[in-house]
Amino acid sequence: MEQQTLGAALEAEHREIDGGIEAYLAADGTGQDPSDTLVRSLAGLRRHIYLEEEFLFPPLKRSGLMGPIFAMEREHGQLWDTMAGIDSSIEHGDAPGTRTACTQLLALLGKHNAMEEKVIYAQADGLLDETASSALGDFLGSGVLPADWSPHSARG
């Protein structure tokens, strides 16, 4: 069996995260409580953003992808803020607000993921050196998001 590339593994995370948010939205009116799925997806998205900003983006910046990385980091801040709105809606029992924010999040993710996969992931496997690839792969397998971390563009 062929080993999966880092780009393919990151794309798979996109699909898993999006799928959890979509499952939350699809469960409306079914009598099911999909909030656990949504919470897991948001945690996965936060971890995924951390992985990119701390392991993937720095070596790619050094390889000359400054402009695309800057755009991705800016969008990470928007995604982070949208997730904070979802957290607040969940905390206050605002199901309509949660659904609206999830729909907004999916729209942001659709645009963001398409660009990231086309521009960043397509080049990641070729541009990352062995040390960076190994660190990223190790984190993909078992890494944990630090509790106090936030995206670069969301820091004050």
Distance CA 152, CA 70 (A): 10
What pTM does this model have?
A: 0.92
Distance CA 116, CA 98 (A): 26
Domain covering 6-144: architecture: Up-down Bundle (1.20)
Distance CA 114, CA 49 (A): 15
Domain map (residue ranges) of the chain: 6-144
Write out the two tokens for 96. Answer: 């309509």
Asked if 113 and 34 touch (Cβ cutoff 8 Å), the reply is no
pLDDT digit string (tens) for the chain, length 156 residues: 345 788 999 999 999 999 999 999 998 766 566 788 999 999 999 999 999 999 999 999 999 999 999 999 999 999 999 999 999 999 998 989 999 999 999 999 999 999 999 999 988 888 888 998 899 889 988 889 999 999 988 876
